[in-house]
Chains A and B, each alone.
Chain A
């Protein structure tokens, strides 16, 4: 296959186009080198730059080189690639950057104020102390105003809706500590808590930044896999000309030309032309479906064969696809009521702390200590109980755990997903694409070396799932493609060409057996290649591992009964076949209402509503866009084990989080009496705060190896 592109005469930057691709298959330094070195050798490509963390490649190229050309070129280098939106910088990245900047500023402020505070603690007196307090104030005020914003705005939002979250006690503590210190500075008092306030912000921002980092990292990975649906269509006008229209502007009655390889953007009926379509997005089943005049086709299907024309019947929000999307939306509502553990803790914690501080103030007033001293003690109580270690307790554990899971091929979307995964007690699996690989794998054991290379030469020219499955199996064996000339694809018939003067072809076999098969012809010799959709290599192991965690798994599939039965027997699971998306949703609702917390693992769009309704859900990296968005976690690769690992690691994470809470609260129980009786000085507050934070972080780091241990 030649990449048709005119040679560049002048390398004018203004004429270059930038395209981003997501390449999930990059795993090593060699992959970076290969892509960055080989891609620019292509005519019309100026530069390629890999972002390894986000698994993306940015290509600068001549506008004449199309996305399809580049995808093809990447595939030839051995990487599956998908073009993505031009501007991937979303709100998430912005949030992360704001937090990291605030963290940098807080770090700067903390170090400089600490420098001054250490001199005060070691005995600076009189004018020196006053000067140092003023300098601390000058540094601390802008730093707190800048770095505190994420907490102040979140606390304000919560208060506005008459709720409370972790940020409310934090904000009150920081603001009161700053105000008191400022008062002390102005009146020339002995104790200023600037370093405590800034240090508190620094530690809490570290927790927040880690949390945001985890989300952007995994979202980038998942976003990378998205973006395959038909977003526009070629509308044929009355005069025969075609115009490109966005999916939202299409109307019923329009005539649309669907090119080979294009995704359908609306539902309709085929007017003329015959082809095969891949409906896996809608049904989850990978077998291509033949279509001819008057066949009904749905948005999201991909045309695998020849171009055809279709008359639209339902568009935009009326399509079957949109209907499923709506079901998912509604099903997802229930999940938004889930309250995260940190917020649950703060609901109990904040009122207790504030009551305690108020009581301390009232108590000392009654004891006749005077306004100033009572207020200082009340504020010391607030500072010492400020949930510094608590703010770190949850994010540190979750970040370490999700990092460990990421290394094993599982992307967890956020902390709430980990919390819900830990609570699941029953699992439902879809079959095709989840328990099985979801793509036909060819049995090539009967072919000799020559036949293999010819087969690859033919198969790599086609987008048909069987050809792709065959090419994949051959490439895996390290087969080099033979130079087959004049490859031609006839829809529904197969591929043919010439090789060394012989007629070679991949054709439809004569016998109509249930199994998928193709026939390879080289001259007069013929060989039948059969395909199967095998179970994932470690499916049985995974189901056993889940059972050892006390989670009973069963199959809930939309596929034919025989196929589901076979898989169920092989794995020793209960199974229900031919279940519609609505019925899947109903099955989950039933489990939920009986008090269970179901985990749904599925890939097809038909699983979408179920994924959204389940207590927690996981989708494979090959799943449809919508399913990946609905799922809490996505696993990549052929192995199913990450699903069982996810649950085990999630449970251990929650265990660590609880330990962190116990520690943070235990520390408060010890420190509060000191504060209540007025023994807390800024020095004690600073030491207590850093020690408790470090212990919580160290405890969370124990999770780093949690995904490595094998199942017993």
Chain B
């Protein structure tokens, strides 16, 4: 039973961390251009292009 006192808060915190990460990603605009992200990986980096 005492294990629950640790495990439940840990589970809740992890869930909340995931939710916070999701909100951050949304505000950061990571869901704005999903097709673009898929296509960008195919672009070759040329010369000094970052």
Contacts and interface: CB of A to CB of B under 8 A. Distances in A.
Interface in B1-50: 1, 4, 8, 11-12, 15-16, 18-19, 22-23, 26, 31-36, 39-44, 46, 49
Instruction: Identify the 3 closest CB pairs spanning chains A and B, nearest first.
Output: A52-B36, A29-B42, A29-B39
Given A29-B40, A32-B40, A128-B1, A108 B26 contact: no
A53 B36 contact: yes
Contact of A108 (B16, B33, B43, B46): B16
Contacts of B40: 29, 32, 52
Given A52-B39, A101-B26, A128-B1, A112 B33 contact: no
Given A104-B19, A108-B15, 15 more contacts: A28-B39, A29-B39, A29-B41, A32-B36, A32-B40, A33-B44, A51-B32, A52-B36, A52-B40, A53-B32, A53-B36, A100-B26, A105-B19, A135-B8, A139-B12
A54 interface: yes
A101 B11 CA distance: 21
B35 A97 contact: no
Contacts of A139: 12
Contacts, number: 58
A50 B36 contact: yes
A108 B36 contact: no
Contacts of B31: 100
A112 B36 contact: no
Interface string A130-155: 01000100010000000000000000
Q: How large is the interface on A (under 10, 10 to 19, 20 to 34, 35 or more residues)?
A: 20 to 34
Interface of A: 28-30, 32-33, 37, 50-54, 97, 100-101, 104-105, 107-108, 111-112, 115-116, 128, 131, 135, 139
A52 B33 contact: yes
B43 A112 contact: no
Given A104-B22, A128-B1, A115 B36 contact: no
Contacts of A101: 23, 26
Contacts of B26: 97, 100-101, 104
A247 to B, nearest CB: 32
Contacts of B18: 108
Given A37-B49, A53-B33, A32 B12 contact: no
B35 A53 contact: yes
B37 to A, nearest CB: 8
Contacts of A51: 32-33, 36
A52 B35 contact: yes
A30 B46 CA distance: 12
A97 B22 CA distance: 12
A104 B26 CA distance: 10
Given A29-B42, A128-B1, A112 B34 contact: no
6 contacts: A29-B40, A50-B36, A53-B36, A104-B26, A108-B15, A115-B11
Most chain B Cβ neighbours within 10 Å, of A37, A105, A107, A108: A108
